[in-house]
Amino acid sequence: MPYEIDRDRRRFFGIATVALAATPLDVVTDTRAQTEATPAPQPPPKKAGMNVNTSFAALKHVNAGLLNVGYAEAGPAEGPVVILLHGWPYDIHSFVEVTPLLAASGYRVIVPYLRGYGSTRFLSSATVRNGQPSALARDTVDLMDALRIQTATLAGYDWGGRSADIVAALWPQRCKALVSVSGYLIGNQEAGKVPLPPKAELQWWYQFYFATDRGSRGYEKYRHDFAKLIWQLASPKWNFDDTTFERSAAALDNPDHVSIVIHNYRWRLGLAQGEPQYDELEKRLAASPNITVPTITLEGDANGAPHPEPESYAKKFSGKYAHRTINGGVGHNLPQEAPQAFHQAIRDVERL
C-alpha cells in the first residue's frame, strides 16, 4: 500500500533523517514559496445518466525485460506519451476515466499492469518474484524500451507513484515530466529498520502482518477482502460500489500477486533480500536523490493512508515544481476519485 514506512518516517523526522490548487485547476501553487497548498476545486459528483467510462479497449501485450506486460493503450500513436502507473491493491482501472480524457487531449496513453497484477506475467518460472521498488521501476524502463518510447510523462500513485519517482530520479532522460500523488516516495531498507512512535507503527499494521507466515497465508486466502478493507481505510469518503471494486480486485488473482506483495513489504522492513542486479540502483536511491524533471505533486483532502505534508518533500524536487491539494473528500486512489484533477495536472506539468 501507499505511504510505506519510509514515508511516515519523513513525516515524523523530516526528509534529512530518513535518508537524509490553487483556484481553478490550471493555476499552480508552489509549496516551496507557500507552506500550505491552496486547495483546487473538486469536480461536481457524477449524476445518473452521465457518460462515465468503465472499461478499456482490448488489452495489448509485449515482452519487456523479465515480463510479458499486459497494458491498455489509447490516443493517437504519434501523440506525446503518458504512462500511468497504478498502486496496491488497485489496478489499471484507477485510470479508466483519466485515459479517455488524455486521449481526447491528444496524448498517447499507456496503462500497464505492474508485475504480479492482471494479465502481466513473468517470462520464466525461474525468475525471482521480486517486489523491491527498484525492480518495479526497472520494469517501467523496460516497457518503454520494448515500445520504443524514448521519453514520456510519468504519472502514478502508491506503488506506481514510487516507480515514477524512481525513474525520474535515476533515468531523468527518459522522464519528460512527472505527476506524483503524495510526492517524494523514494525510501530504502536502512530507513525501514528505524522504529517509529507507537501511533505511527499502528498505521502500518498490514506490513507486520505480511511479515509473518500467517499474514502470507491470510492474504492468499482473503486477498479480495483484504483489498476492500484497504480501499475503505485509505479512501473513507469514496463510496465505491461492488462492481467498481470487483473489476479491479480481479487483477489480484494473478498467480504471482501474493509473492510480489509479500516480498515487497518484507524487503522494506529488511526481512527479505533483494537481487544483486538491483544493488547499484538501491545504493543510488539510498542517497535520496533529488528529482530534477518538471513535477506536480497531488494530495487528496481525505486521504486515509498516512502521508507526508507537502512542505516536507518540496525541496526534493529541484526542477520546476508545484503542489496541489484536491478537495471534495478525495482519498488515496486520487486518479479514480478525481480524474479531472489528475488529467489537468498531466496537461499542466509540461507547461510549468
Cβ 119 vs Cβ 70: under 8 Å:
yes
Cell numbers linked to 39: 486547495
Condensed to tens digits (0 to 9), the pLDDT of residues 217-234 reads: 999 999 999 999 999 999
Condensed to tens digits (0 to 9), the pLDDT of residues 28-55 reads: 344 443 333 434 434 434 433 345 789 9
Task: Find the mean pLDDT for residues 324-350.
Answer: 98
Answer whether residue 26 shows pLDDT above 70. no
Domain that holds residue 126: 5-349
Q: pLDDT averaged over the chain?
A: 88
Answer whether residue 127 shows pLDDT above 50. yes
DSSP E strands in the chain: the ranges are 39-40, 60-64, 67-74, 81-85, 108-112, 121-122, 152-156, 175-181, 295-300, 321-326
Cβ 102 vs Cβ 95: under 8 Å:
no
pLDDT category at 307 given cuts 50, 70, 90 is confident
Higher pLDDT, 307 or 64: 64
**Domain harbouring 125, CATH code:** 3.40.50.1820
State residue 101's pLDDT score. 98
Higher pLDDT, 327 or 2: 327
State residue 84's pLDDT score. 99
Q: How far apart are CA 271 and CA 265, in angstroms?
A: 9
Q: How far apart are CA 87 and CA 53, in angstroms?
A: 20
pTM (whole model) above 0.75 = yes
Q: How far apart are CA 147 and CA 107, in angstroms?
A: 15
State residue 35's pLDDT score. 32
Q: How far apart are CA 181 and CA 95, in angstroms?
A: 13
User: Above pLDDT 70, what percent of the chain?
Assistant: 86
CB neighbours of residue 258 within 10 Å? 20
Answer whether residue 8 shows pLDDT above 80. no
State residue 51's pLDDT score. 53
Instruction: Name the region of 328 (left: φ>0; alpha: ψ -120 to 50; beta: rest).
Output: left
- Give the chain's length: 352
Three-class secondary structure of residue 72 per DSSP: strand
Cβ 132 vs Cβ 264: under 8 Å:
yes
- Count the domains in the chain: 1
Q: How far apart are CA 228 and CA 51, in angstroms?
A: 26
> Torsion angle, CA of 112/116/118/121, rounded to 10 degrees?
80
Nearest partner of 5 among 193, 136, 271, 155, judged by Cα: 193
Peptide bond into 89 cis (omega under 30): yes
pLDDT category at 245 given cuts 50, 70, 90 is very high
Cβ 160 vs Cβ 86: under 8 Å:
yes
